[in-house]
Structure 1
Amino acid sequence: MNLLHLKYVIEVAKAGSISKAASNLYMNQPHLSKTIKDLEENMQIIIFERTSKGVIPTKKGAEFIERAKSIIMQVDEMEAMYHGYDDKSVHLDICVPRASYVANAFTNYLSMINFRDKNIRVNYRETNSFDTIKEVYEGDANIGIIRFFENEENCFINLLETKELEYEKIYKFTFKLLVSNENPLVYKDKISLNDLVEQIEITHGDISLPALPLVSTNRNDETRQAKKEITIYERGIQFELLNCLPHTYMWVSPIPQNILDRYNLKTITCYDNKMICYDLLIKRKGYRLSKEDQGFIKEVKRCLRENNI
């Protein structure tokens, strides 16, 4: 058995089919089948149960696959630590929610780096909490930030502990209304959900990336007062719409003041919205943060602290 064989097993489990895995690995199917069979005989276990629709891991096979993933991740981390990561390299892999304070911290951190004569590999992915947990657990991202409601806390904490992921609460907040400074709502002393009935709500249509759980995870939630709605599928247009259509709003996590000033926007508290959210920083157990990881995390916390958000 060698590391390559472990990678073969992981790919077969992921593909659910030896023929599909062979195609993904650019090798012929008989050779992969023989390799898996030889490995099973060597380990004296049956890793996969063969069915008419493909293969599924046995109970012992599932245990073996999880150990194989852990070994591959540890080897990858060792290689990352000792090969090619020096003062001339910048490496960062993160998964985060769609949040302006995180994006602001990310760009601020990168702006402090002198990229001249350096090797650059930076991956910044905005996605939902479950995908972030999966990416970090499987080693495709080194760190992540997940978001959930207070009443979902036990579910997510149990999931993180099951995956042996370390976590740190970095932010507790309630969603606010984002409007332009020309929106009539800014002149009201107190905003309630009823005040939104005649407003137009802007929502993101990508349900795989719920920046606004208030509106995207439950379409019948009591916070959805708007009878009018504009659905968008990319970030770039959201601030333009808010400015060009003064009777529009979005539900957002708190936003740094410099971004609000730049786009002529304002966040407003809706007094009868009491739903609390948490943002958690997560990483694999035992993973050693790189200098880039540490720099990004430091900037996230600085952004939260200095903007009082």
Structure 2
Amino acid sequence: MTFQQLKYAIEIANWGSINEAAKRLFISQPSLSMAIKELEEELKITIFERTNKGINVSVEGTEFLGYARQVIEQIELLENRYLDAKPSPQHFSVSTQHYAFSVNAFVNLIQKYALEDYEFTLRETKTYEILDDVKNLRSEIGILYLNDFNNKVINKLLKESNLEFTVLFQAQPHVFISAKNPLAKQANVSLDDLDPYPCLSFEQGQYNSFHFSEEILSTLTHKKNIRVSDRATLFNLLIGLNGYTISTGVLSADLNGNNIIAVPLNIDETITVGWISHKNVTLSKLAAAYVQELEKVIQDYH
């Protein structure tokens, strides 16, 4: 087993693709595949499970990669300290549902550490992909919500993937609407109040289950429905069409301005937002620092 093989395995896990990893490493795909095959044979474990849709990190591979990352980090520290080598870029990835506070914390993390050389990834993505990213170590942290409706299904997937959920905060449902919406002056709104307006939600692609929806009450029918894939488009439609979306009520004026407001939704529900991580992997310093920034941002919002 060589340090190079460890780096190869980590790069494949980061990109979720042998093809992409080979490009990033500037080697051929057959050479990379052979290096990993030799590593797996030597260790007598399967690190990556090959499927028609690509590769997944196995349970054994998850544990191995956790140790491999720690070894590589220590080697880089030694090289930087004693060989006067150029510091390696800092790496960190997070996958999240479409929450402004997760972006705020990401910005604060980079500004606080004043990193000169880094490769960070922030994925605002679908619920199933958040689970898959953290399971396969493409992201150290995932951010999503639980409620009475999706709790059983999401927790089952967390258990099967050896992931754990840590509560970040609990919130009562709100709707995001334009500051010019006729409902904007109300102290709270009901579902009947919202009926004339377009309901906006984030599409979930291939895994379009009600339990993966980013919005509560996903089983309700609406006369006007619009699904979008990104937060900027959703907010533009809130303003342009007087639409609404159901969320936590946590909104950033710094990122979104004052054109969007949060109004309490008159319904007996609770949304529990939290972050997920892999049980077998110790959080890196940057991941732990990001969690601290998340907590600070939420405290500031409250």
Q: Please give the TM-score of this superposition, normalised by the length of structure 2.
A: 0.70
Give, in angstroms, the shift of residue 301 of structure 1. 0.6
Q: Which residue of 2 aligns with 1:279?
A: 273
What amino acid maps onto 1:258 in structure 2? Answer: A
2:64 pairs with 1:71 = yes
Q: Which residue of 2 aligns with 1:139?
A: 137
CA contact (8 A) 1:129 1:148 kept: no
Distance in 2 separating the partners of 1:81 and 1:149: 40
The structure 2 residue matched to 1:294, chosen from 252, 269, 288, is 288
2:238 pairs with 1:242 = yes
What amino acid maps onto 2:107 in structure 1? Answer: T
Higher Rg of the two aligned structures? 1
Give, in angstroms, the shift of residue 68 of structure 1. 4.1
CA contact (8 A) 2:127 2:213 kept: no
C-alpha RMSD of the superposition: 4.2
Give, in angstroms, the shift of residue 243 of structure 1. 2.7
Distance in 1 separating the partners of 2:101 and 2:283: 21
Distance 1:233 1:108, change over 3 A: same
Give, in angstroms, the shift of residue 241 of structure 1. 2.9
Question: Deviations for 1:233-258, whole angstroms, at most 9, x for unmatched residues?
Answer: 3332333332333x322222222353
1:279 counterpart SS class? strand
Distance 1:80 1:303, change over 3 A: same
Distance in 2 separating the partners of 1:302 and 1:114: 18
Distance in 2 separating the partners of 1:260 and 1:136: 26
Distance in 2 separating the partners of 1:275 and 1:182: 26
Q: Which residue of 1 aligns with 2:185?
A: 187
The structure 1 residue matched to 2:171, chosen from 173, 176, 181, is 173
Give, in angstroms, the shift of residue 268 of structure 1. 0.9
Same amino acid, percent of matched pairs: 17
Distance 1:259 1:139, change over 3 A: same
Q: Which residue of 1 aligns with 2:94?
A: 94
Give, in angstroms, the shift of residue 259 of structure 1. 4.3
CA contact (8 A) 2:143 2:274 kept: yes
Q: Which runs of 5+ in 2 are unaligned?
A: 18-26, 46-50, 53-57, 82-86
CA contact (8 A) 1:180 1:266 kept: yes
Q: Which runs of 5+ in 1 are unaligned?
A: 16-23, 46-52, 55-64
Give, in angstroms, the shift of residue 109 of structure 1. 2.6
Q: Which residue of 2 aligns with 1:205?
A: 203
Distance in 2 separating the partners of 1:253 and 1:266: 12
Distance 1:119 1:253, change over 3 A: same
Distance 1:80 1:282, change over 3 A: farther
Give, in angstroms, the shift of residue 280 of structure 1. 2.4
What amino acid maps onto 1:213 in structure 2? Answer: E
Give, in angstroms, the shift of residue 187 of structure 1. 2.6
2:246 pairs with 1:251 = yes
